[in-house]
Structure 1
């Protein structure tokens, strides 16, 4: 560790029992590795033409509400380069119109379908592209889903690194094939909303929560899907709000420089979450490449970068090679996805749906047409409907109660979750309420609905088409007498219930982003009990952001079927009708575990501070054991296990074959980088004075100086600190640096992806109807600290009645390796490894020891 002056601080922190993130400098510079080569070359050529002010403009946001997108960089008019547009969300284009409201990430996880992940990613990016967006802020692997109550879990995929990682990769490939830069977020450890930005509610704390993660857990769990994202070529990664081991994510040199840019050899750019920046020079040296939205506080007109970044380069605090690398990384991503070929003018405004308004919304200037109301939906509604049905998990089905035949004389629907929001489909800003049916959670990870097909509407249409009668009670306060009078007469009773969550800047029913419990909302349990008490053919459909506690009612003899439909997007009602009436045979599997009681998961949100007014400390003492791994380790019986899901058919597994494949020895990466390239020439301060021909816009962030007196231009009270204290040791060193032994290529050491075994199994449809099965491959890595089993592969197999097929997959060196904290690399231990195959984490009828043929 070259930062020797910090070693005593580290020792003191450890002695006090505080988590500590070691310094890692300098920030690695992009080298155009692998498929980045051409884009990197073009980026270097472009950046070589830029002045210092233009480089700063490229890396600095112009301020909240100072452009038409939720985030905008400065422009480079001299070269015809417009401001880059960053826009939410991971399920569609946020804050606009004539866009599609796609299913949430958790629904994609429930499909276990890489093709659908790709198609959804591509479709979403096509819509962003059509609106003029350069960077879509998604997909999500942070939160991974450590705690079931986590407010934003639904934006991501699943609390398993392999399922999330593969779906992340597929989504990213789809997005970037459409010509839009994907932004994998939130890096890293962002597992709850409470205290994500410090003080909250009645609690005053000095800093944001510190998520304290040990080295093994970081590599084997939370970093894993980001490695998949980097290997898939993701153009940008967003650092998160929280601290990691008591260092802010966007200032954390270890996670950014050492892990992301060093070990994972990430060639794109790191952008801050909105107001996730906490220092200027510090964040630049720690590996952050772009700040968003640019101002210290929204609309403050003050900035850590902008003018201050120009000053930092002029006074030598930030070396010239570092600002060059920041710009090169941004432009490499730009060219890699073909933004120079696919970019269209920005034709919407995030701050209003009015056709005419102010381009500089906060300043109230630049009146023009800001919304062209471009319809970018194409035929994406059909994909939404398909994913909604493909992600519906059949949890219970007694004696073939489903599918419905269409001949039911009287169908009754119950629950507020079946109906419409009385305030309109977009009646709550950023979906910050739970009125009517739930089709997405709340927060910045949302999009406006162009419409929402409710279950009530779709089921009524189906019933009327079939000549039946229909009634719906969607008032959550309806009396039991009213409910039971209808339920007792119905042929089938469909109860819809939900549980919501979202981002922490919105509170709904005292849920501050994170859920405060795991029960149903909208009087759900009481409605289920009332209906089931009067109707002997009661079916429950759940629209929830994650697991809920169902043990108290799910075994009721009158409840004949239970389905989880998640957050299915705009086609919600049509998707559930497709499953209820058998047009689609459910093949989804639950992407999380359903415990019987809240304590079953072993972890929870930190709801109150535990460190006085200091940063709350959340110690990840469970290590790699979250969700099904925790249940397995402690032999806890869930209501429904991870990977579980029924079908209208049945399937069998047989003939497991595990064949070793010879692999070369694992070779740690060696050698050194080239020196950091310096592009262009920095002039004296006079060259960067604010131009006379530029009209100042209120609160807009600029790169220029007001005076050649750098201290006066900065206004930074710390200006003039001794460099030895202000700049960490080694942070300015542009000399050749050692390659990280665990790295060597985007995603990590290339040898991690060597195939070490082939696995095949026969899957047969033993039922009477065509259906889909999801074979799942788990591996026990052996050893005293390993999980009983971990998911390592999956697929989707469509089979007709009586049909069988051979499903084949492979295991890589990475799949059978553990992170060794001593050697700081991946190792294949000598412990016995076992392969399991089945259709859920608790139904694995086939197993075989894995005999590896890896040369030493």
Structure 2
């Protein structure tokens, strides 16, 4: 809720108890039964083992839970990243989420998710840490917006759902992240901030009002839950001054209560800040298990065992934690009997090494170098080409066997250190095909634009030269000034996760200009060459104001972060092997200030938690530009083709649907699956075990007394236990939730209108068109909001019908008083067109 006065801090209302699983939840019924059968056999120690990571670098994966050897369960292997497998060999480097969203193609979103998960599965991984809906893209400079999809909740939500289905259809658990309001890298972690010279006592607080939270940032997570996602990962940042991994409002109330999420909530790595508090607030799995990397200390582990024994964490809560984890495991088709072994090691590329890397124990084979790539290069190449956005074309493209091609720009060539020469891709040398941070994978190879274009020119019998030094203007001028030159100039802009700083960019970008002096190179080349084609590899929007209208700039292409097939996918577009149909997943502004939002680069609360208040509400990206009447250079959803299309004959069909009814009733009582021993001697470290240094165990530190094991002078007191948090009695259902359907009240997804339009290819080439459906809800709402889209292949002269739908949710606003979705009485209108500002068709919704 907002503060009473400007000087007050925003607060997050408490919500307890933490909701327990619903045995009748749609799509989870069988998984619930399997999980109940398994968890009912577990001892308290084994339940704690399942919920607690074993510690950083003490297992093969970036996150490993304890196991249950007695029942043959090997534990979870949780692995980055949302763009491929991090820290492994013979894996693929996939196209970014952002460029995938630019395809506006549901089937490609699914295919990418499936291909990535197939590789994870073949390496023995249990859960892939992705896809990403946070950051959504509030600030264009945000360091990790390329890991996500788009600065729009609907496009992101659809991409999340399709990616999750693709992943989980392979038997890999998807973990939707970073929940929620995680929109910048600055001040997300204390140690990180301290390393950059900032003295703060708590991480940044994203202060978000109730309506904005629901209509913008929670929206794609609702789609993820509705798609059956097995896990959600909570973020480092605070939301309204409560840490994301122990914020009972956003976890218990919104995620598990209102959305009916049945899977498990896992902490971001070292994002857990408490033991009992986080358990009661709804955290289900602690990663990587230690309080800070390699400390050997844990908020859970032995402390969680003691917390259950002394009653500060109720038995039903630990049961529900284990149930949620195992239900997600079974839901995607896994069994205990067929659980594969992990065949790689995150901490060493060597064939032999330590199984417990930090503890230096268990020497033997740790890597089997299994090639899991299959035919995924084709998937990557196709998605990268179909996501590429043609921003400008004065007839220069597609290329038709030009006699002389001059390529200029560092971004066209190789990194002299190799494609994996910088840890976690933490540099900007050579062509940019992936941002930096934990959301990366190793390149098995990287086809540069220079390599691919040269091969095509040579095959055509042409002449080819390239220059990668962006500061040798004399050499560049000498090359591009030659008669008949087709000049292709490259530029990029990079960003990533906050623990890496590149050229002074601490995760988030410092500005929206191109890197490597590319703006000057483009300006120079376009002044010397009358046929200049610009190719941009960027993590988001950049400022093109100074040169995009130059008459010699004959074409501009945004190729995003294409992954390993970068050059090949670009050649497919440049030479017309694929007709471009990508659409920009963000707005391109004339100047930085036009966005109305920005990264907070300096703390604003003394040495307390920096306060970042989302004063813009729902008005980000194109919603803001439209509301403020600001003309962008290229709008959201914009993209050109090598052919032309005509829109006509919009038709709106109203569907007969029932009245919206809030959910009422009670949940079941919290189930407890068995009684646990209260004899402390049953919880001591087994004499037969070998202690692994820094490994997190569930065993108590002493068996002299429970009070001594608790190590707390307040032992036996519930003074600090939130009200209702121990209550396992039936609880009232939240009115915006559903009795059995995850994702919120099922009536929200009733189709209220069907909208159709005729799309005709009026050009000479076959091509894909991307019709987009927007609504105007009237009143205090953005003038236009995306609600549906399609990607349709149309032959020359052919007409096809676009069919979109508008659901009750699409027409609703969040009412902060009733705490439910309502359709206002304001007049409403629907638009269909090729971008957020090219909407030739419209109709009133009656």
TM-score normalised according to structure 2 size: 0.98
Given that 1:13 and 1:20 are in contact with CA atoms closer than 8 Å, whether structure 2 keeps it comes out as no
SS in 2 for 1:250: coil
Please say if 1:653 is aligned against 2:647. yes
SS in 2 for 1:777: strand
Give the alignment of 1:431-830 within 5 angstroms. 431-477=425-471, 479-489=472-482, 490-684=484-678, 685-708=680-703, 709-715=705-711, 719-720=714-715, 722-724=717-719, 726-744=720-738, 745-783=741-779, 785-830=780-825
Cα distance in 2, alignment partners of residues 811 and 674 from structure 1? 34
Match of 1:155 in 2: 147
Cα distance in 1, alignment partners of residues 629 and 755 from structure 2? 27
Deviation at 1:412, TM superposition (A): 0.7
Please say if 1:48 is aligned against 2:40. yes
Given that 1:92 and 1:446 are in contact with CA atoms closer than 8 Å, whether structure 2 keeps it comes out as yes
SS in 2 for 1:707: coil
* RMSD of aligned Cα (Å): 1.1
Which whole-Å deviations, capped at 9, do the CAs of 1:778-825 have from their partners, x for residues lacking one?
A: 000111x11111000000010011111111121110010110011000
Of 413, 417, 432, the match for 2:411? 417
Match of 1:18 in 2: 9
Cα distance in 2, alignment partners of residues 740 and 366 from structure 1? 50
Match of 2:58 in 1: 66
Match of 1:190 in 2: 182
Given that 1:240 and 1:273 are in contact with CA atoms closer than 8 Å, whether structure 2 keeps it comes out as yes
Cα distance in 2, alignment partners of residues 640 and 674 from structure 1? 52
Cα distance in 2, alignment partners of residues 137 and 823 from structure 1? 35
Given that 1:403 and 1:580 are in contact with CA atoms closer than 8 Å, whether structure 2 keeps it comes out as yes
Cα distance in 2, alignment partners of residues 664 and 388 from structure 1? 43
Match of 1:264 in 2: 259
Given that 2:310 and 2:716 are in contact with CA atoms closer than 8 Å, whether structure 1 keeps it comes out as no
With over 3 angstroms needed to count, the CA separation of the structure-2 counterparts of 1:189 and 1:432, relative to structure 1, is same
Please say if 1:100 is aligned against 2:100. no
Cα distance in 1, alignment partners of residues 367 and 479 from structure 2? 48
SS in 2 for 1:654: strand
Deviation at 1:527, TM superposition (A): 0.9
Deviation at 1:146, TM superposition (A): 0.2
Deviation at 1:712, TM superposition (A): 3.4
SS in 2 for 1:543: strand
Which whole-Å deviations, capped at 9, do the CAs of 1:341-376 have from their partners, x for residues lacking one?
A: 763210000011100000000011100110000000
Given that 2:666 and 2:733 are in contact with CA atoms closer than 8 Å, whether structure 1 keeps it comes out as yes
Of 7, 31, 44, the match for 2:22? 31
Deviation at 1:16, TM superposition (A): 4.5
Cα distance in 1, alignment partners of residues 102 and 708 from structure 2? 56
Deviation at 1:714, TM superposition (A): 4.3
Cα distance in 1, alignment partners of residues 546 and 338 from structure 2? 54
Deviation at 1:466, TM superposition (A): 0.4
Instruction: After superposing the two structures, state which structure 1 stretch, 802-811 or 312-321, moved more.
Output: 802-811
Q: Which runs of 5+ in 1 are unaligned?
A: 1-9, 852-856
Match of 1:225 in 2: 220
Match of 1:4 in 2: none
Deviation at 1:533, TM superposition (A): 1.4
Deviation at 1:682, TM superposition (A): 1.5
Cα distance in 1, alignment partners of residues 338 and 568 from structure 2? 33
Which whole-Å deviations, capped at 9, do the CAs of 1:285-317 have from their partners, x for residues lacking one?
A: 000000000000100000000000000000000
Cα distance in 1, alignment partners of residues 521 and 427 from structure 2? 20
SS in 2 for 1:533: helix
TM-score normalised according to structure 1 size: 0.97
Match of 1:142 in 2: 134
Of 284, 294, 309, the match for 2:279? 284
Cα distance in 1, alignment partners of residues 119 and 341 from structure 2? 13
Please say if 1:350 is aligned against 2:346. yes
Given that 2:276 and 2:313 are in contact with CA atoms closer than 8 Å, whether structure 1 keeps it comes out as yes
Cα distance in 2, alignment partners of residues 825 and 514 from structure 1? 35
Cα distance in 2, alignment partners of residues 719 and 563 from structure 1? 64
Deviation at 1:246, TM superposition (A): 0.2
Match of 1:122 in 2: 114
Q: Which runs of 5+ in 2 are unaligned?
A: none
Instruction: After superposing the two structures, state which structure 1 stretch, 269-278 or 675-684, moved more.
Output: 675-684
Cα distance in 2, alignment partners of residues 488 and 826 from structure 1? 61
Give the alignment of 1:246-257 within 5 angstroms. 246-257=241-252
Given that 1:395 and 1:562 are in contact with CA atoms closer than 8 Å, whether structure 2 keeps it comes out as yes
Cα distance in 2, alignment partners of residues 663 and 765 from structure 1? 35
Size of the aligned set, in residue pairs, is: 836
Cα distance in 1, alignment partners of residues 353 and 412 from structure 2? 37
Given that 1:504 and 1:514 are in contact with CA atoms closer than 8 Å, whether structure 2 keeps it comes out as yes
Which whole-Å deviations, capped at 9, do the CAs of 1:410-438 have from their partners, x for residues lacking one?
A: 10101000000000110000000001000
Deviation at 1:491, TM superposition (A): 2.1
Which whole-Å deviations, capped at 9, do the CAs of 1:48-96 have from their partners, x for residues lacking one?
A: 0000000000000000000000000000000010021000000101100
Deviation at 1:476, TM superposition (A): 2.5
Which whole-Å deviations, capped at 9, do the CAs of 1:362-398 have from their partners, x for residues lacking one?
A: 0111001100000000000001000110011000001
Instruction: After superposing the two structures, state which structure 1 stretch, 685-694 or 110-119, moved more.
Output: 685-694
Of 149, 170, 173, the match for 1:178? 170
Match of 1:7 in 2: none
Cα distance in 2, alignment partners of residues 433 and 480 from structure 1? 24
Match of 1:241 in 2: 236
Given that 1:629 and 1:789 are in contact with CA atoms closer than 8 Å, whether structure 2 keeps it comes out as yes
Cα distance in 1, alignment partners of residues 752 and 550 from structure 2? 47
SS in 2 for 1:241: coil
Cα distance in 1, alignment partners of residues 338 and 659 from structure 2? 43
Match of 1:854 in 2: none
